[in-house]
Amino acid sequence: MKQSEGLFYKMKKYKERVHLLLSLIKNYYVDCKLFYKHSNIFKQDTFGKIEALIILRYHSLEKGFLHDSIRYEFGKNVVIELAKLLKREDVIANCNRSQITAAYMVMCNYYTAHSEKNVDISSYYPKSDFDFFSNMLALNFLSVNDQQATSYFDNSDKDFYHFSKSRCSMRDFTGEMVSFETIEKVIEIAKTAPSVCNRQPVKVYFVEDKKIIDSVFAIQKGLKGYSDNVSQLFVVVSNRNYFYKVGERSQLFIDGGIFVMNLLYALHYYKIGACPAHWGFNTDTDQQIKKLLNMKEAEKVICLVPIGIPQNKFKTTLSLRRSNDEILKRIT
Ligand SMILES: Cc1cc2nc3c(=O)[nH]c(=O)nc-3n(C[C@H](O)[C@H](O)[C@H](O)COP(=O)(O)O)c2cc1C
């Protein structure tokens, strides 16, 4: 190769790299703009965003009912905020949507749970609100499911319809350890998850060091009241090394998410209780877990999955799903 040709080749490569870098910056900028405009962080200016605020609040109340002995008057501020949202005209007009119905149900359940025990909550939740919310409903106040360890896994080896309908997030573990032999079988199934071009960017850290587990949940805070009995924890990560194009910048989350679902099913199949737990944090917090688990810089935490043997009796949230017409749009 002549010297001028070598120089030309280097220039061409350099130009390509600059072009890719500009494309990466532009794509993150557009992502950033869209997230700014359409996420719930800065403005609550669409019905979807209001519905999301409602889901967030009713789900936190729903979780308050899971404890064996309810801490009465829990989530006062959440109740006040949710009541305000549920009385909005646009929300009332959409009261048939599954998630709005679920919110009314949880609010009614909250009221009856307190009035049955003669706990006065009128200072923040008046009876008139209860009457209003119950009028919006066809009187079904259930917002938690009572489960028993003996029957919870009854459908875990049945056909997929019954299997998948029987899985739910459970948080009440005994603290007993699941054998590593079983964990290996779980991973054998979990890794059948598809990934882009079969690149398999996912790795799982399986943590059995209780000190580290406690430190992780002290940061994560999403399993308050349940983490004491967590003795084993999966931390699912995706490795950025496996992505080649700017357009793939979110692919690590997709492959990671698919893997997590497969992992949850594999755990259910082997009769192991689990609850996915978010890792929706800023980069500073990412550094903390990376240090705790000695992770590579290229790895991004996708999700935590605490696992364990279910306690004899436990409660799970109703987590009512949307109706098909809310999520299925047919294009013919
Ligand atoms: C990515 C992700 C993060 C979650 N984070 C938490 C969490 O931090 N704490 C918790 O108690 N539940 C958490 N959950 C469980 C959800 O509340 C639960 O999946 C949802 O209500 C649906 O209920 P189901 O899993 O019982 O079907 C999480 C679920 C997912 C998928």
Atom of ligand 1 nearest to the CA of 171: 11
CB of 165 sitting under 6 A from ligand 1:
no
CB of 254 sitting under 6 A from ligand 1:
no
Q: How confident is the model at residue 142 (pLDDT cuts 50, 70, 90)?
A: low
Q: Which domains does the chain have, with CATH numbers?
A: 47-146+316-327 (no CATH), 173-309 (3.40.109.10)
CB of 276 sitting under 6 A from ligand 1:
yes
319 Cα to the center of ligand 1, angstroms: 9
Mean pLDDT, range 266-270, rounded to an integer: 98
Contacts for 161-169: CB closer than 8 Å, 24+ residues apart: 163/265, 163/268, 163/269, 164/265, 166/268, 167/264, 167/265, 167/268, 168/316, 168/317, 168/319, 169/274, 169/275, 169/276, 169/316, 169/317, 169/319
24 Cα to the center of ligand 1, angstroms: 32
Q: Dump pLDDT digits (tens) for 10-48.
A: 999 999 999 999 999 999 999 999 999 999 999 999 999
Q: Dump pLDDT digits (tens) for 83-121.
A: 999 999 999 999 989 999 999 999 999 999 999 999 999
pTM of the model: 0.86
Atom of ligand 1 nearest to the CA of 316: 26
User: CA 186 → CA 73, 150, 180, 207, distances in Å?
Assistant: 40, 21, 10, 15
Pocket residue to mutate for ligand 1, from 169, 234, 316, 320, most atoms within 8 A of Cβ: 169
